[in-house]
Protein backbone atom coordinates (compact mmCIF):
# COMPACT_ATOMS: atom_id res chain seq x y z
CA UNK A 1 0.00 0.00 0.00
CA UNK A 2 1.34 3.41 -0.94
CA UNK A 3 1.78 6.04 1.75
CA UNK A 4 -0.74 8.83 2.09
CA UNK A 5 -0.27 12.45 3.12
CA UNK A 6 0.30 11.60 6.80
CA UNK A 7 2.98 9.02 5.97
CA UNK A 8 4.76 11.44 3.61
CA UNK A 9 4.67 14.12 6.30
CA UNK A 10 6.20 11.58 8.71
CA UNK A 11 8.97 10.74 6.22
CA UNK A 12 9.77 14.46 5.86
CA UNK A 13 9.76 14.88 9.64
CA UNK A 14 12.51 12.22 9.89
CA UNK A 15 14.82 14.10 7.49
CA UNK A 16 16.60 16.87 9.43
CA UNK A 17 17.54 18.85 6.30
CA UNK A 18 13.93 18.71 5.05
CA UNK A 19 12.82 20.14 8.40
CA UNK A 20 15.47 22.88 8.17
CA UNK A 21 14.35 23.80 4.64
CA UNK A 22 10.67 23.63 5.59
CA UNK A 23 9.84 21.26 2.71
CA UNK A 24 6.25 20.08 2.55
CA UNK A 25 4.27 18.00 0.07
CA UNK A 26 0.82 18.15 -1.46
CA UNK A 27 -0.57 14.80 -2.54
CA UNK A 28 -3.42 14.39 -5.03
CA UNK A 29 -3.88 10.71 -5.87
CA UNK A 30 -0.46 9.41 -6.92
CA UNK A 31 0.71 12.88 -8.02
CA UNK A 32 2.83 14.73 -5.53
CA UNK A 33 4.03 18.32 -5.62
CA UNK A 34 6.84 19.25 -3.26
CA UNK A 35 6.95 22.81 -1.93
CA UNK A 36 10.02 24.68 -0.75
CA UNK A 37 8.74 27.78 1.07
CA UNK A 38 10.98 30.80 0.66
CA UNK A 39 13.07 31.85 3.67
CA UNK A 40 15.93 34.38 3.70
CA UNK A 41 18.35 31.71 5.01
CA UNK A 42 18.02 29.87 1.64
CA UNK A 43 19.71 32.67 -0.29
CA UNK A 44 23.11 31.73 -1.70
CA UNK A 45 23.85 34.91 -3.66
CA UNK A 46 22.57 37.98 -1.82
CA UNK A 47 23.59 40.37 -4.61
CA UNK A 48 21.00 38.92 -7.05
CA UNK A 49 19.36 37.61 -4.72
CA UNK A 50 19.19 33.92 -5.68
CA UNK A 51 18.48 30.65 -3.88
CA UNK A 52 21.54 28.53 -3.10
CA UNK A 53 22.09 25.86 -5.77
CA UNK A 54 22.68 23.21 -3.12
CA UNK A 55 19.29 23.95 -1.59
CA UNK A 56 17.61 23.55 -4.98
CA UNK A 57 19.50 20.32 -5.68
CA UNK A 58 18.70 18.80 -2.29
CA UNK A 59 15.04 19.82 -2.66
CA UNK A 60 14.80 18.04 -6.01
CA UNK A 61 16.58 14.94 -4.66
CA UNK A 62 14.09 14.79 -1.75
CA UNK A 63 11.25 15.13 -4.26
CA UNK A 64 12.53 12.10 -6.19
CA UNK A 65 12.85 10.00 -3.03
CA UNK A 66 9.37 10.95 -1.84
CA UNK A 67 7.83 10.17 -5.25
CA UNK A 68 9.47 6.74 -5.20
CA UNK A 69 8.00 6.21 -1.71
CA UNK A 70 4.52 6.84 -3.11
CA UNK A 71 4.69 4.50 -6.08
CA UNK A 72 6.82 1.68 -4.76
CA UNK A 73 6.38 -0.61 -1.78
CA UNK A 74 9.81 -0.28 -0.23
CA UNK A 75 11.51 -1.77 2.81
CA UNK A 76 13.46 1.45 3.43
CA UNK A 77 14.02 4.89 1.92
CA UNK A 78 15.62 4.80 -1.56
CA UNK A 79 19.33 5.63 -1.64
CA UNK A 80 20.84 7.96 -4.20
CA UNK A 81 23.20 6.27 -6.64
CA UNK A 82 23.87 9.33 -8.80
CA UNK A 83 22.25 12.59 -9.84
CA UNK A 84 22.85 15.14 -12.55
CA UNK A 85 21.42 18.63 -12.12
CA UNK A 86 20.87 21.27 -14.77
CA UNK A 87 20.51 24.76 -13.33
CA UNK A 88 18.41 26.56 -15.93
CA UNK A 89 17.88 29.98 -14.30
CA UNK A 90 18.36 31.64 -10.94
CA UNK A 91 15.94 30.69 -8.22
CA UNK A 92 14.35 33.92 -7.07
CA UNK A 93 13.45 34.65 -3.44
CA UNK A 94 10.02 33.04 -3.57
CA UNK A 95 8.38 29.64 -3.06
CA UNK A 96 9.67 26.83 -5.28
CA UNK A 97 7.77 23.74 -6.45
CA UNK A 98 8.91 20.38 -7.82
CA UNK A 99 7.45 17.25 -9.34
CA UNK A 100 9.15 13.96 -10.04
CA UNK A 101 8.53 11.52 -12.88
CA UNK A 102 9.67 7.94 -12.46
CA UNK A 103 10.93 7.00 -15.91
CA UNK A 104 11.68 3.38 -15.00
CA UNK A 105 11.61 1.44 -11.77
CA UNK A 106 13.29 -1.93 -11.93
CA UNK A 107 13.72 -4.46 -9.14
CA UNK A 108 16.72 -2.64 -7.63
CA UNK A 109 17.24 0.67 -9.49
CA UNK A 110 14.88 3.50 -10.42
CA UNK A 111 15.49 6.25 -12.97
CA UNK A 112 13.78 9.50 -11.93
CA UNK A 113 13.51 12.98 -13.45
CA UNK A 114 12.54 16.06 -11.42
CA UNK A 115 11.70 19.59 -12.50
CA UNK A 116 11.62 22.57 -10.15
CA UNK A 117 9.83 25.83 -10.95
CA UNK A 118 8.59 28.98 -9.31
CA UNK A 119 5.99 31.08 -11.11
CA UNK A 120 5.04 28.67 -13.88
CA UNK A 121 5.77 25.01 -14.44
CA UNK A 122 6.53 25.77 -18.10
CA UNK A 123 9.61 27.78 -16.99
CA UNK A 124 11.65 25.41 -14.78
CA UNK A 125 14.57 26.78 -12.78
CA UNK A 126 16.33 23.40 -12.52
CA UNK A 127 16.06 19.76 -13.60
CA UNK A 128 17.45 16.61 -12.02
CA UNK A 129 18.07 13.19 -13.50
CA UNK A 130 19.00 10.46 -11.08
CA UNK A 131 19.27 6.78 -10.26
CA UNK A 132 18.14 5.47 -6.90
CA UNK A 133 18.69 2.12 -5.19
CA UNK A 134 15.44 0.43 -4.18
CA UNK A 135 14.94 -2.13 -1.43
CA UNK A 136 11.52 -3.70 -2.09
CA UNK A 137 9.61 -5.18 0.84
CA UNK A 138 10.72 -8.74 1.50
CA UNK A 139 14.06 -8.26 -0.30
CA UNK A 140 17.21 -9.51 1.36
CA UNK A 141 19.38 -6.76 2.83
CA UNK A 142 22.61 -6.74 0.88
Give the model confidence (pLDDT) of 65-86 as tens digits.
Answer: 999 988 766 778 899 999 999 9
> What's the rounded Cα separation, in Å, for the pair 140 and 142?
6
pTM for the whole structure: 0.90
Domains, in order of start, for the chain: 5-133 (3.10.129.10)
Give the model confidence (pLDDT) of 21-45 as tens digits.
Answer: 999 999 887 789 999 999 999 999 9
Amino acid sequence: MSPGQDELDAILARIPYARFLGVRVELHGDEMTAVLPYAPRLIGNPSLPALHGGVIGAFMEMTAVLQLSILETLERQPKTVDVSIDYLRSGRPQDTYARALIKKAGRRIANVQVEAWQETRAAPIAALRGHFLLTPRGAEAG
